[in-house]
Amino acid sequence: MSLVLPSEIVVERFVPTARAMLAAALDEREFTQQEIADRIGVTQAAVSNLVNGNVAVEERFSEDPRMVETIERIADGFEDDRMDGVDAMAELIALVEAFEDRGPICAVHEDAMPELEGLGCDLCVRGTDSEVLAERDVLASVRRAARLLAGTDAVAEHVPNVGTNVGMALPDAEDATDVAAIPGRIYRMRGSVEVPANPEFGASEHVARTVLAARSVDPDVRAALNVGTSDALLAAARERGIDPLEFDPDYEDRGDHLREALNSRGVVPPVLFHRGAFGIEPVTFVLGRNAVEAAELAVDLADRAAGGHET
């Protein structure tokens, strides 16, 4: 029996394919070979081979729509300066994880080790510490949500003066340290949204308080982000069939106020808001089962609001 580790498939097949596809995509966007080399971590000579098709690619990876979409997203991110090497690595790692879960990496692995055929190829998704996986999934969701917010022009108008943040809780979250968010908050600068850091657990007490209050009523709701309250945004929510829930803006015992309002409604609506008070800026929270879902809803509401931000 030959012994081939799944990691060998990633190193020997997936990585060269990803580099070849990304080099070609960047070449199409008129990056120089040195610029491509700097971004994908190879020499300029290696880029020449990649661009000229002198490197073998694994078609089961290169023809997979998820691979094509990921490479195009990374290339666009590099071109627009919205992504860096860490962002690209996160995207590719997420793709590897998807491909290892009974995906094309499993198929290639079974070819290399025929003894695995019919076993379901669970090796890559079995035996990993579940808590570590949960933390990684939460951080990845918050990171993607933050990138989505930063990449949508309409969102900038709805970032409040106190800044925006997006957070997501672990499945069994008990306090703010179990909720990941962006340290220092997401802010608006020169009409665009800036994300200052990568997500960390315990980074936002305010968002965590909202997430934990929502989870106490509906455990499936694990994420929230804040934007400024506006009539246009609330109207956009109602256009989506959402009935926004208003709550007391007082910071003192905010969690208790939220729980009381949510319990009175009986369900957790995806939009919560307050109109502000003396020294308290009006804020709307957009909720979701994960951070990406919350961000997608916030983006849709911002687009529907068509730039309106009247409080």
CATH number at residue 205: 3.40.225.10
Same domain, yes or no: 113 and 198: no
Q: Are 255 and 214 in contact (CB under 8 A)?
A: no
48 in a domain, yes or no? yes
pLDDT (tens digit per residue) in 280-308: 899 999 999 999 999 999 999 999 996 54
Mean per-residue pLDDT of the chain:
88
Poorest-pLDDT segment among 22-31, 48-57, 113-122, 288-297:
113-122
Q: What is the mean pLDDT of residues 1-30?
A: 89
Mean pLDDT, to the nearest integer, of 32-38? Answer: 93
Better-predicted residue by pLDDT, 126 or 150? 150
The tokens for 40 are 């994908």
The pLDDT of 95-106, averaged and rounded, is 85
Structure tokens at 101: 């879960």
pLDDT at residue 309, as a whole number: 41
Is position 136 within any domain? no
Least confident residue range of 26-40, 84-98, 107-121, 210-224: 107-121
> Is the same domain home to 121 and 182?
no
Count of domains in the chain? 2
What does the pLDDT look like over 215-253, one tens digit per residue?
Answer: 999 999 999 999 999 999 999 999 999 999 999 887 677
User: Is residue 311's pLDDT more than 50?
Assistant: no
DSSP the chain: -----HHHHIIIIIHHHHHHHHHHHHHHTT--HHHHHHHHTS-HHHHHHHHTT-S---HHHHT-HHHHHHHHHHHHHHHHT---HHHHHHHHHHHHHHHHTTSHHHHHHHHH-GGGTTS---GGGSSS-HHHHHHHHHHHHHHHHHHHHHT-HHHHTT--TT-B-EEEE-TT--SGGGEEE-TT-BEEETTEEE--S--EET--HHHHHHHHHHHHH-TT--EEEEEE--HHHHHHHHHTT---EE----STTHHHHHHHHHHHHSS--SEEEE--BTTB--EEEEEESSHHHHHHHHHHHHHHHTT----
pLDDT average, residue stretch 139-152? 92
CA-based nearest residue to 191, from 157, 225, 237? 157
Query: What is the distance between the alpha carbons of residues 257 and 216, in angstroms, rounded to a whole number?
Result: 13
CB atoms within 10 A of CB 166: 33
pLDDT of 125 > 70? The answer is no
Same domain, 161 and 267: yes
Greater model confidence, 79 or 136: 79
Give residue-wise pLDDT tens across range 45-61.
Answer: 999 999 988 888 999 99
- pLDDT for the residue 120: 47
Residues 158, 106 share a domain: no
Domain that holds residue 40: 6-127
- Phi then psi for 234, rounded to 5 degrees? -65, -35
Each residue's pLDDT tens digit, 255-276:
788 888 999 899 999 999 999 8
Q: What percent of the chain has pLDDT over 70?
A: 92
**Residue that the structure tokens 């590099």 belong to:** 78
Is the residue at 133 inside a domain? no
Residue 194 sits in the same domain as residue 275: yes
**Buried residues in 119-146 as b, exposed as e (16+ CB within 10 A):** eebeebeeeeeeeeeeeebbbbbbbbbb
Is it the case that residue 113 has pLDDT exceeding 90? no
Question: What is the per-residue pLDDT for 142?
Answer: 94
> Residue 117's pLDDT is what?
61
- Classify 41 in phi/psi space as left (phi over 0), alpha (psi -120 to 50) or beta: left
Residues 163 and 264 in one domain: yes
Same domain, 221 and 114: no
Q: Are 177 and 270 in the same domain?
A: yes
Asked if the structure places residue 281 within a domain, the reply is: yes
| Residue 140: pLDDT over 50 | yes
Mean pLDDT for 110-137 is 66
Query: Could you tell me if residue 162 is inside a domain?
Result: yes
Looking at the structure, do residues 158 and 271 belong to the same domain, yes or no? yes
